Amino acid sequence: MTINNQVRLETANEENMNNASVETRRKGAIARGVGVMTQVFADRAENAEIWDVEGRRYIDFAAGIAVVNTGHRHPKVIEAVKAQLDRFSHTCHQVVPYENYVHLAERLNKLVPGDFDKKTIFVTTGAEALENAVKIVRAATGRNAVVAF
């Protein structure tokens, strides 16, 4: 049994688990600064639907804040994730680089039109992307400051 299955079984065996009881636990365990949009707690998902801990089905218009473009549990995504996990889960490219990272950057660079050198950087958040964009602009222009409005 995997750790995730063990955790899932432990929580699923709680008597009378419902959205309200999980919300009460959330308030006791998680800092107030971590806001949530709804007190509906996901139990499982498939394609564009989510089922809560009470078994009610919802259409997932948020799609994991727009990062589940293929829907929940798309077979090709599951297959790719399993194939990668059979090799390794994560190394942090800046610590131990890996070929897939380079391959994806090469593919993206080919998609950019124009006859000039192209480089790619992968980041995890909008803030990180913006920080790097500012660094790139400062390096390219030689200017110290950037005005944003």
- Domain boundaries defined on the chain: 3-85, 90-141
What single string gives the DSSP state of each residue in 50-77? EEETTS-EEE-SSHHHHT-TT-BT-HHH
pLDDT at 10: 62
* pLDDT at position 132 over 90: yes
Q: What is the mean pLDDT of residues 93-115?
A: 97
pTM listed for this prediction? 0.68
* pLDDT at position 5 over 70: no
- Residue 40's identity, in one-letter code, is V
Handedness of CA 132, 134, 140, 143 (dihedral sign): negative
Provide the 10 A C-beta neighbour count for residue 118.
Answer: 14
What confidence tens digit (pLDDT) does each residue in 23-68 have? 999 999 999 999 999 999 999 999 999 999 999 999 999 988 888 8
| Residue spans of alpha helices (H) in the chain | 3-12, 19-29, 63-66, 75-87, 99-111, 126-141
**pLDDT, greater one: 25 or 13:** 25
- What letter would DSSP give residue 40? P
Among residues 122, 69, 128, the alpha carbon closest in space to that of 93 is found at 122
Mean pLDDT, rounded, of the chain: 91
* pLDDT at position 104 over 60: yes
Q: What angle do CA 73, 26, 58 make, to 5 degrees?
A: 40
Among residues 142, 140, 121, the alpha carbon closest in space to that of 132 is found at 121
In this structure, what token pair is assigned to residue 87? 């090799």
Q: What is the mean pLDDT of residues 92-104?
A: 96
CATH code assigned to 3-85:
3.90.1150.10
Using DSSP bridges, classify how beta strands 57-59 and 49-52 pair: parallel, antiparallel or unpaired.
Answer: antiparallel
